Structure 1
C-alpha cells in the first residue's frame, strides 16, 4: 500500500496541474508551409516545435489541419484547444490566451521584378493594389488602414499568381513562407517576382489557447517553460536544423 501511495504521489508531481493524464490537447493549424503542413516532416517546423514542447511539459496532443477561418472559429467555440500559429491581435486575445512567441515572422511585400515600387511607410502603398490572405493579420497599422487597396485571396499562392498576371501590384507574406512556395509550387514564376527591401513588420509567432479551456493559462506557462528549456539544451536548434532553417 505504501508503494502504491508513493507511485500516486509521483504521478501527481509529474503531471501538470489541472491536466488529466488521459486528456489530449486538440491542436489546430491552417496549411502554412514551412510552418504547418501535413505533407511536411512532423507537420512543419512550427508544429514540430509546439508538439515537442507540449510533450516535454507532460501533455499529449492531436493535430488537425483546417482552413484558417475554420481554425479560428473552432478555437472560439472550444472545439479546438490550441491554435499553433497565431500573431497577436487584440481581437484574438478576447477568446484566446497567448503564449510567449516561439518564432519570429518577417513579413515582406513582393512585386513584379523591375516594377521599382518604393515602400518606406504605408502611405507609399496607397496607389497600389495588394493581395492579402483573407482573415490574416499582418500588422496593426496595415490591417486597420482603410486607405490601402487590399484584394482578398484564399492563399499566398493565389496572390502571387495574381501578381504575376498583373491583376494586383503587390503581394504580402512571411518571407520564409513566400520563399518556400517560390521554390516549389510557384517555381515557374519565381524569377519574375522580387521582395521589396523594407519589411512591413516582424511578428512573434505564438500558440493561442482557447479561453474555454479551464487551464489555458497553465498550458501557456508550461509551454513557455518547455520552449525555454529547449533553447537552453539545444533541442530547439536541432528542430530548426532538421527543417532546413
Structure 2
C-alpha cells in the first residue's frame, strides 16, 4: 500500500476517533409513551435502548428534551448529532442517515367504543375528524384521504391530547402504534371499554435513530450505533428492556 494511502487512512481514523471522543449530543421529544418521555423510567423504552446501544459501542452521550419539531430542525442544523425515534420518509432520507430499526411499530385506528372504523372500510373514515400529532407522517392511505379532502386533520402537540380529545368527542379517531395508543388511553384514567382498537393494522413502520447526512461523521456514528444495537439484541438485553417497560406500563394502569 503506498505511503500516501497509509497516511490518509491513519488521518481518517484519527478524525473519526476524535469526532466521537466528545459525548454524542442526542435530542428527543416528550409525551411519546412508552417510547420516550421525561417522566418515564429511563426516559422511555427507546431512550433506554438508544443509550444502551451507544454504551455498548463505548460512545458517551448527552440527552436534551425539545419539542419534536424544534429538536428535529436543530439536529438538521447540526446543533445536535442525532435524534430519535423517527420513521422513514422519502423527504427525511434525503437529509438523514438511518440506523437499523429500534422498533417495529404496527399502526392501528383508535376510536370510541361502538364506532367501528376499520382499515378495509374507507367509507368509515370519510368525513371524520382525525387527530394526528404535529410533525407525524400519516400512512399513505390516510394521506390520500386528507389530500382528497375526505378527512379532516387536527394536529395537537402530542398523542396524549388526541386521547383526551377523542374522549371529549372533539375528534373521531387517531392512529398510532398499539403500545403508544393503549398507553395514551390509559393515561386518561377512563376504562378501556370506552374505546375501540381496529382489528387489523393500517400499516407497519420502523423507528430509527437518525443523523444528518451533513454531519462529518454521520456514517461512523450510524455504523458504531448499529454495532451496539446488534450486541443488545444478541445477548437478550434488548428484549428484556422491552419486556420491563411493558410490565411497568401495565402496573401503572389505573
- Is 1:239 the counterpart of 2:241? The answer is yes
**Which of 162, 168, 176 is matched with 2:179 structurally?**
176
Asked if the contact 1:138/1:201 (under 8 Å) is kept, the reply is no
Q: C-alpha separation between the residues in 1 aligned to 2:122 and 2:57?
A: 42
Q: 1:163 to 1:189 in 2, by over 3 A?
A: farther
Aligned residue number for residue 60 of structure 2: 60
Q: C-alpha separation between the residues in 1 aligned to 2:167 and 2:243?
A: 32
- Is 1:142 the counterpart of 2:145? The answer is no
Q: 1:17 to 1:206 in 2, by over 3 A?
A: farther
Moved over 4 A (4+): 121-124
Q: C-alpha separation between the residues in 1 aligned to 2:191 and 2:155?
A: 21
Q: Give how far 1:81 is off.
A: 1.0
Cα RMSD for the two superposed structures: 2.2
- Is 1:166 the counterpart of 2:169? The answer is yes
Helix, strand or coil at the partner of 1:191: helix
Aligned residue number for residue 230 of structure 2: 228
Q: 1:48 to 1:16 in 2, by over 3 A?
A: farther
Q: Give how far 1:101 is off.
A: 0.8
Q: Give how far 1:211 is off.
A: 2.1
Aligned residue number for residue 96 of structure 1: 96
Give structure 1 stretches of 5+ with no counterpart: 1-11
Q: C-alpha separation between the residues in 2 aligned to 1:129 and 1:105?
A: 23
Superposed CA deviations along residues 104-155 of structure 1, whole A, max 9, x for unmatched, are 1111111110112343155652232211101112324433541232222222
Helix, strand or coil at the partner of 2:63: strand
Q: Which has the higher helix share?
A: 2
Superposed CA deviations along residues 24-44 of structure 1, whole A, max 9, x for unmatched, are 111111111111112122111
Q: C-alpha separation between the residues in 2 aligned to 1:107 and 1:118?
A: 12
Q: Give how far 1:191 is off.
A: 3.2
Q: C-alpha separation between the residues in 1 aligned to 2:238 and 2:63?
A: 20
Q: TM-score, normalised by structure 2?
A: 0.83
Give structure 2 stretches of 5+ with no counterpart: 1-9, 248-254
Q: C-alpha separation between the residues in 1 aligned to 2:228 and 2:175?
A: 32
Asked if the contact 2:109/2:118 (under 8 Å) is kept, the reply is no
Aligned residue number for residue 191 of structure 1: 193
Asked if the contact 1:181/1:187 (under 8 Å) is kept, the reply is no
Q: 1:241 to 1:117 in 2, by over 3 A?
A: closer
